[in-house]
Structure 1
């Protein structure tokens, strides 16, 4: 095999660090046998790296929709997805040739033919074949700067912030941290060149760009914890794609790569400093400056929170999407480097240039000007280095900083570089004999002071880029340049998970968070939007939700490689760099797998007791357990659980198992005290649902509320002096309004498709952070439950409703705090007593000044009132063992508060 003799200095160092090139040596290859009826079996070495063999037939089917038309929904395969077949290498020993798939003859990389029973799309022309060589087309000089932002005047008591668009002002893009020099190399071309083409789009980049340009731009995103009208804006934008006859094929980020979580943490902490500055400006009455500052806080709001929304929009429009194993950039690079027939070009962030794309990366569509902006990698390399060396370009790019590697520490020295970009890094590298290691040695004092491990991080990042992981058109999970993958690749790629889990990630059944925890052996808690680490937040993160995370991991890890089962997973937190906790997923008693295995319900069992229209997620599962005859039907009839196949049953059984694990149901499947309280609330909400059919998510909000109540986070208790608290009344009166407005924050404010205009409230944003942490932990547990159902073969794997199952499961949507702000602002000025008509009139006039784009504020207030009443009735059913008398009294006061203020 290859040696290090002919390599340059940096490559020699990499080989020295990770081992000389060449395929790693094993006594045996591991094997994964996937069957509908049996668990995974692993044979051979205990190696956990990316060297396993898997069922090739299964893997080819994972990528089923790649061989379908990009303008039609994918169909389920006609033959069995999981039928045992001949084992083939996961990664071939020989280089993979480009796909030669056409409409008439479709051949997978490596020569494996696609299933002829599956329809093959009409071949879409590649950019070069469609006269789309962007480098050869001069720019027409037309460009439009994104709109600027400003705020309206505010009244003295409560600052009203507002977005006002101006075409003449420019602004920074807060979500995207990109290199200015590279952007200067972009060229503009006629959009008609892409007519009839399919474009593979980085979903994160698309959402970032959408939210940073009008009309969808929302500078107050990090102050509200959500968006108003984003779904409508996405649909409007996709209408423009369709109008111009361009088909987007979205690729979502999967698991983070090594180093990415740490960079996200660092950017989040820096963003918190900007938002702290914005909150200070807001408290001083400088609303306009506060809005601008909120709008320039990169990393505060995690764009991945919008993935479920975008995926549901794409499904409703019959547009394809794919969740990559790791980064979307790596998957797009695979499409580009193989001239894939699935797309004619790729659109994404600058980091795409790190990968072996052949030339241009699409950047911005200007639908009004009918132009598209692109960056040519060849042009950038020629401009950056005299020899257009790709290795030196990659090194310079990495030194300038990426989403998974911090910038070279010397570039951050303001005394040496007032500003820097990739060109600065290239010049620095040139003076260091084109060697990153030499540059590190030259600036060793700075590295030791700022980041002593930066060279180690660089080497890992370099290997991550070179050995990127992607899904091939054959459906196989592959590693680029597998021949030279080093034996310690788990150090930079992480541990390898079964292909079946990648399939569930790929189809949207589960998210990447849990898988990333296992792959990288850590749970890194990212900064909150408010940047406040209160005592109750610290206790929640380090104590209350840890058992939930342990249960989730305990359900998945026993199905994985035996070596992974013995790997520790550490918990790290953003507010304390020294904190570390080892997840205990191996010795939970009783084992979560044993508890969930006691549930086996089929469609006919449910329909024998409940009508088909009684199918609301959460409500059905909780209220059905009140029926003792039905409870008897929920236990397994046979030793092996099978046949939980329908969408409804997969969803319901997952929720029943969640209720059991969280203590709402006992081992006899009867409701506990907490379960009875939740059932009382849900039963009370039935009338609210019937009277407000357009209001969704009430049952899920009730479940979230009870999770918060159980953790002592929804009590109304507060510390005087904190910003955003009520101004009037006694402590008890203020506490009651705090409790009511926090409950309202769990509900959605119906809002027109405009940017938010109204007051802000940091206290409610802190509560949003608590609710978000609980919701995130519970979502991980629900996803682990549903994934385990498929891993154990309890549910049919060959299906096409994975996204629908995911959508029905609770804890996916996070409403913003708009309704809570409105409730607190209105009642803080309201006095008890008075006539009902007068208060109703004030409420109807309230939106004109405070929330002018609210659609049905009076109805939303009534829903919030009824929601609080339902929770109070549920809490009343609890005993003193479950809740202290003083905490129960807070809910009684909340009911009395509304009774004294009818509307």
Structure 2
């Protein structure tokens, strides 16, 4: 996310200066969340190269955050994290920039399949870290759990941090972030903190400008745009193979000196074929204005350019179309994520290649099937907005079909909101049911199991009463979950359980309360409905399938391992060690994508409920709204580690002379501890995986009995269950 060429220049010219950490004692430090996570999770010794082979969150994420926060507390520093929001306008076609990650992942898997494990790890290690957006929701929860303030900026975090710093109330005293911060009216930025050494590194803009030959502050912005930003390409005459790092910066500096400004340089070469073909004059104007007049969220709840003087009246042309202030508020609190807002403001939803490569026909069909959920989300989002957004077309572009755009219809009749607005259940109905089920808080388990009571379900049919709106987070969450369950056809519009709903309720009731299997069970049943959770290999099939036993036994192992993949393996906060499976990583792509789309549907359901005044929007304070955001499910998908462990256990057991013998099973479990040396309790995780398997099988039996599944589909599960009982 940083200006790479300028950073190389800063490093080469030793512009980063050291200071003792004590200088920040009793201060509030504004932290750029994306910069922080990239810095914390990328350096040698901290980077987890096999994250690209496992999926899920970094094992060290929780430890990194908590260790950093402990260091700040010990130094007397109060942190405020600012996350990145909606993407800025990009004047380029989807996939215009090459993505080298896909080829590197393929190369790494090729090396792994040839038993070149060390080579594979090294190639995986060369790949850029996973996007920070994939860890942000979980990170917000950890920050909240540790009592740390955070917000999501409406757009980029740099300008928002500068606003917090320069405000008359001095919300923060210093900024820890990337060099882009210096493009604003800021004299210095902290770029690194070393708790062990008790120091920090910072960059002084005045010194940097002097090192650049006496450029002015405005010219530093010119130079940054010419060198290329994360949302705009470099000047074509600088974007050359022989001009890298410091040389690119010098070239940009010389252009600015010769033509007074970056814009002057660009206009001087307007007729150059490279400049003309890329329409770079327009690119430069947009990028320059997007930084200079960047939009921030004010302490009054409004939006405005960080520089209001001479601000143009067409900001929407280089930022994005403006949304209602209320929607930005929910964004800042993490209630609505930026992904769906990116799609709406840009008119495009870009589906990038998953970690496994996404070559299977089943995965691509699955993505097409998910378009109905995306339509629901967009309908919920746009229904209460201005007609401009209700009529705005949104298209999806897939990496494997990048020349074609597929429209996602969202002007539905009736609207999605109108189909679910009969859920307005208040505490007088909610609280007695919570007490009856011995539940303290509202969660997905409660939302599902409560509807098994037909009398209670009938009482939930509650049209909105304007004089008696929903008031509490508990009420908002419960009605959000019920609306979601109806949208996903677990409940009818009459609030009666469907066959799939009955399967869900029966299985959850039979499971352990403390297991909290509602979320993985919903994903399992959804993937069964999408024909993704089966005992069949995908086409084409990746390596990492079971290799021992008969074909029937291999199918049983694959199905059970896929179910186990719905849960994460619990691991030490270091890189993964153990066998890999690209095949199970492929199934993890299904889980991750469904979880992402389900989360968006949950978020837009909350927004729809609030924006349509089904709840009193003044009932909660800022902390309450933030807590609501981190309470929502489908925060992140699991890694494929437990699926690999389950496959390894059953596959290796198949190779034993007496696979059903208890002593053989115990030996294999001991062997697992060696194979997965850094897992905290791999045997305990396997046992939990089997409990989830039991829950899924119970749900499948009910679904088959209710006619929601064919006998052939259900038999794959029941036959595997009968086979595995003596191998657990």
TM-score > 0.5, shorter chain as reference? yes
Written as runs of structure 1 = structure 2, the 5 A alignment for 1:198-277 is 198-213=28-43, 216-225=46-55, 226-259=57-90, 269-277=99-107
Match of 1:821 in 2: 644
Counterparts in 2 of 1:112-131, with a 5 A limit?
none
Deviation track 1:248-283 (CA, whole Å, cap 9, x = no partner) reads: 1111111111129979x6778222222222222222
The alpha-carbon deviation at position 432 of structure 1 amounts to 6.2
List runs of 5+ in structure 2 lacking aligned partners: none
Give 2:596's match in structure 1, choosing from 754, 757, 776.
Answer: 776
Q: Does 2:357 match 1:357?
A: no
Contact 2:499 2:707 in 1 (8 A): no
The answer to whether the 8 A contact 2:8-2:245 is kept is: no
Residue 783 of structure 1: how far off its partner (Å) = 0.6
580, 585, 596: which is aligned to 2:420?
A: 596
TM (normalized to structure 2)? 0.92
The change in CA–CA distance for 1:292 and 1:475 in structure 2 (over 3 A counts) is same
- Displacement of 1:204: 0.9
The 2-side partners of 1:266 and 1:861 are apart by 44
Q: Is the 8 A contact 2:480 2:605 kept in 1?
A: yes
Deviation at 1:864, TM superposition (A): 0.9
Q: In structure 2, what is the equivalent of residue 131 of structure 1?
A: none
Cα distance between partner residues in 2 of 1:857 and 1:288: 24
Match of 1:456 in 2: 282
- 1:417 deviates by 6.1
| 1:42-191 matched pairs, under 5 angstroms | 179-184=7-12, 185-191=15-21
| Displacement after TM superposition at 1:645 (Å) | 2.3
Deviations 1:582-607 (A, max 9, x none): 22111x24421111111121222134
1:508 maps to which of 324, 334, 337:
334
Give the stretch that moved more between structures: 191-200 or 439-448: 439-448
What SS does the corresponding residue of 1:273 show, helix, strand or coil? helix
Offset of residue 290 of structure 1: 2.1
Say if 1:843 and 1:699 are closer, same or farther in 2 by CA, change over 3 A: farther
SS at match of 2:580: coil
Decide which structure has greater helix share.
2
The corresponding residue for 2:446 is: 620
1:290-333 Cα shifts (integer Å, max 9, x gaps): 2222122115x121121122212222222211111111111012
Q: Indicate yes or no: 2:629 matched with 1:806.
A: yes
Matching residue within 335, 343, 346 for 1:517 = 343
Deviation per CA, 1:597-623: give whole Å up to 9, x if none: 111212221343452623562222122
For 2:633 and 2:90, locate their aligned partners in 1 and report how far apart those are by CA, in whole Å: 30
Q: 1:702 aligns with which of 516, 521, 545?
A: 521
CA distance in 1, matches of 2:529, 2:141: 31
Determine whether 1:344 maps to 2:197.
no
Give SS of 2:402's match.
strand
Deviations 1:410-447 (A, max 9, x none): 44433676985433433355566744575473783345
Aligned partner of 2:254 in structure 1 is: 427
Residue 756 (structure 1) aligns with: 576
Tell me by how many angstroms 1:757 deviates.
Answer: 1.4
Query: Given that residues 3 and 180 in structure 2 are in contact (C-alpha distance below 8 angstroms), is that contact kept between their aligned partners in structure 1?
Result: no
Seen in structure 2, the aligned counterparts of structure 1 residues 316 and 363 have a Cα distance that, compared at 3 Å, is: same
Equivalent residues, number: 715
1:394 aligns with 2:394: no
- Give the aligned CA root-mean-square deviation in angstroms: 2.7
CA separation of 1:481 and 1:835: change in aligned 2, threshold 3 A? closer
Greater CA deviation, 775-784 or 841-850? 841-850
Q: Which residue of 2 aligns with 1:786?
A: 606
Which residue number in structure 2 is paired with residue 159 of structure 1? none
Moved more, 545-554 or 331-340: 331-340
Report deviation, 1:705.
1.1
SS at 1:381 equivalent = helix
| Alpha-carbon shift at residue 642 of structure 1 (Å) | 4.1
Q: Contact between 1:495 and 1:518, CA under 8 Å: does it hold in 2?
A: no
Cα distance in 2 between the residues matched to 1:648 and 1:839 = 49
Q: Distance in 2 between matches of 1:311 and 1:387?
A: 41
Counterpart of 2:696 in structure 1 is: 871
Deviation at 1:351, TM superposition (A): 2.0
The equivalent residue for 2:535 is 716
Q: Is the 8 A contact 2:83 2:153 kept in 1?
A: yes
Query: 1:178: how far off?
Result: 7.1
CA distance, structure 2, for counterparts of residue 670 and residue 552 of structure 1: 23
With over 3 angstroms needed to count, the CA separation of the structure-2 counterparts of 1:255 and 1:796, relative to structure 1, is: same
* Residue of 217, 226, 230 corresponding to 1:403: 230
What SS does structure 1 have at the residue aligned with 2:202? strand
Q: TM (normalized to structure 1)?
A: 0.75
- Kindly provide the CA deviation profile for residues 845-903 of structure 1, in whole angstroms up to 9, marking residues without a partner as x: 2244311122222221111112112212211222496334332222123212312413x
